[in-house]
Amino acid sequence: MSQGNTGKPEKPHHKFKVFVCYAKEDCEKASVLEHMLGEKGFGAYMSNSESYGNFIFDEIKDMIRLSICFIAVLTSDFLNSSLINQEIGYAQGKGLKVILIVNDNLEEIQSIKTKLTVIEFNENNFRQQCAVVVDKVIKMAEILDEPVDFEAFLDFYSRGMEKFGAHH
């Protein structure tokens, strides 16, 4: 273990994929995020708004379904895409956490639903905000990676049922 480590070994997250969508004009920003996710062991399905037409292809749906979360890099270029709402809606319908990394000069930020995680950025702090997003993805992966002790759960459940007088 390296010095400064919290005592918890870093888990490789290579088995987890994240879906990242962006406007083709934001390819450089998406690449920064992809690289930072990759450094932490996450694979990324990258999809720019020009890679398909006005409807979500089955291939894109499959990538979203196989991901642990959905991240959209939102700038004025991408808000004009007809697909962003479809993709976000599809991801939410599949139960994925949706993280929007949004340019802070967008007036439309106020209209974005509070149910979504919104991380604002500007040209000076984009990298730091990507690190915030990656940390959120790591926390989700750690929750998904925790082994479940079914025996302890069943014991807890059985005691709870007895306590409340429920009988089989």
Q: What is the CATH number of the domain that holds 76?
A: 3.40.50.450
Asked if residue 9 belongs to a domain, the reply is no
47 phi and psi angles, rounded to 5 deg:
-140, 115
How far apart CA 15 and CA 145 sit, in angstroms, is 10
Asked if residue 168 belongs to a domain, the reply is no
Asked if residue 77 belongs to a domain, the reply is yes
- The predicted pLDDT at position 64 comes to 93
Residue 102 has which token pair? 């949004």
Asked if residue 36 belongs to a domain, the reply is yes
How far apart CA 129 and CA 120 sit, in angstroms, is 7
Asked if residue 6 belongs to a domain, the reply is no
Choose among 118, 134, 126: nearest CA to 42. Answer: 134
What stretch of H or E contains 155? Answer: helix 150-163
Residue 60 has which token pair? 């894109």
Asked if residue 135 belongs to a domain, the reply is yes
Q: For residue 108, give its domain range.
A: 17-163
Residue-averaged pLDDT of the chain: 78
Single-letter amino acid, residue 94: K
114-118, 124-128, 141-145, 152-156 — most confident range: 124-128
Asked if residue 11 belongs to a domain, the reply is no
> How confident is the model over 148-161, as a mean pLDDT?
62
Number of separate domains in the chain: 1
Asked if residue 130 belongs to a domain, the reply is yes
Is 44 within 8 Å of 17 (Cβ atoms)?
A: yes
The SS3 of residue 8 is: coil
Residue 90 has which token pair? 């599809």
> pLDDT band at 8, cuts 50/70/90?
very low
